[in-house]
Structure 1
Amino acid sequence: MNLLTAMRVFDRVCLLGSLSAAARDLNMSTTAVSRTIKELEDDLGVRLINRTTRRLSLTEAGRDYAPRARILLDDISELQDSTRGLHKETRGLIRVSCSNVLGHTRITKLVPKFLEENPLTTIEFDLTARYVVGIVEEGYDVAIRFGGQADSALIARRLGEVRNYVCATPDYWDTNGRPVHPDELASHSCVLSNFAKRLGTWPFIGPDGPFDAAVGGRISTNSVEAAYQMTTAGFGIGNLPSLLVDAAISDGRLEVQLDEFRPGSSPIYALYPHRTYIAAKVRAFVDFLIRELSADFTA
Structure 2
Amino acid sequence: MNLLVAMKVYDRVTALGSLSAAARDLTMSTTAVSRMLKELEDDLGLRLINRTTRRMSLTEAGREYAERVKVLLAEVEEVQDSTRRLDRGIRGVLRVSCSNVLAHTRITRLIPAFLAENPMIAIEFNLTSRYVVGIVEEGYDVAIRFEAQTDSEIVSRQLGTVRNHVCAAPSYIAARGRPRSPQDLASHNCVLSNFAKRMGSWPFGSKDGRISVPIRGRVSTNSIESAYQMTVAGAGIGYLPSLLVRDAIADGRLETLLEDHEPVSSPIYALYPHRTYVAMKVRAFIDFLMRELSPDLD
Bin for the TM-score computed over the shorter chain: 0.7 to 0.9
CA RMSD between the two structures: 3.1
Would the alpha carbon gap of residues 177 and 42 (structure 1) be closer, same or farther in structure 2, given more than 3 Å must change?
A: farther
Aligned residues: 288
Partner of 2:260, secondary structure, is: helix
Q: Which residue of 2 aligns with 1:123?
A: 123
Counterpart residue number, 1:150: 150
Q: How far, CA to CA, are the matches of 2:69 and 2:232 in structure 1?
A: 43
| 1:177 aligned residue | 177
**Do the aligned residues in 2 keep the contact of 1:23 with 1:33 (CA within 8 Å)?**
no
Query: In structure 1, what is the Cα distance between the partners aligned to 2:50 and 2:140?
Result: 22
Identity of aligned residues (%): 58
| Comparing 178-187 and 86-95, the one that deviates more | 86-95
The residue type paired with residue 84 of structure 1 is T
Aligned CA distance change for structure 1 residues 249 and 134 (closer, same or farther; 3 Å): same
Shift of residue 100, structure 1, vs aligned partner: 1.1
| Unaligned stretches of 5+ residues in structure 2 | none
Is contact 1:181-1:258 (8 Å) kept? Answer: yes
Return the alpha-carbon distance in structure 2 between the equivalents of residues 67 and 236 of structure 1: 50
CA displacement 1:41-97 (0-9 Å, x = unmatched): 66654667778xxxxx863349x8697587346423334236636497522221111
Partner of 2:263: helix, strand, or coil?
Answer: coil
Pairing partner for 2:56 from 56, 59, 63 = 59
Q: Distance in 2 between matches of 1:203 and 1:288?
A: 31
8 Å CA contact 2:160, 2:268 repeated in 1: yes
Determine if contact 1:41/1:48 at 8 Å carries over to the other structure.
no
1:162-196 alpha-carbon deviations (Å, 9 max, x no partner): 11111111111111111111110011111122231
Q: Indicate if the aligned counterparts of 1:95 and 1:140 stay in contact, CA closer than 8 A.
A: yes
Q: 1:50 to 1:111 in 2, by over 3 A?
A: farther
2:266 partner amino acid:
S
Q: Tell me the equivalent position of 1:22.
A: 26
Residue matched to 1:78: 77
Task: List aligned pairs for 1:194-233, cutoff 5 A.
Answer: 194-233=194-233
Matching of residue 274 in structure 1 with residue 274 in structure 2: yes
- Gap change, CA 1:185 and 1:42, over 3 Å in 2: farther
Structure 1 gaps, min length 5: 52-56
| Partner Cα distance (1:67, 1:264) in 2 | 41
Match of 1:235, SS state, is coil
Q: CA 1:294–1:137 in structure 2 vs 1: closer, same or farther (change >3 Å)?
A: same
Scaled by the length of structure 2, the TM-score of the pair is: 0.83
- TM-score, length-scaled by structure 1: 0.82
Aligned equivalents of 2:69, 2:140: Cα separation in 1: 10
Deviation larger for 114-123 or 207-216: 207-216
Give SS of 1:60's match. strand
Measure how far apart 1:265 and its partner are. 1.0
- Secondary structure at 1:96's aligned position in 2? strand
| Alignment partners' CA distance in 1, 2:207 and 2:31 | 68
Residue 10 of structure 1, CA deviation: 5.0
The amino acid that maps onto 1:283 is R
Q: Distance in 1 between matches of 2:144 and 2:128?
A: 10
The CA distance in 2 between the partners of 1:23 and 1:210, in whole Å, is 49
Q: Which amino acid aligns with 1:188?
A: H
The question of 1:260 aligning with 2:260 is answered: yes
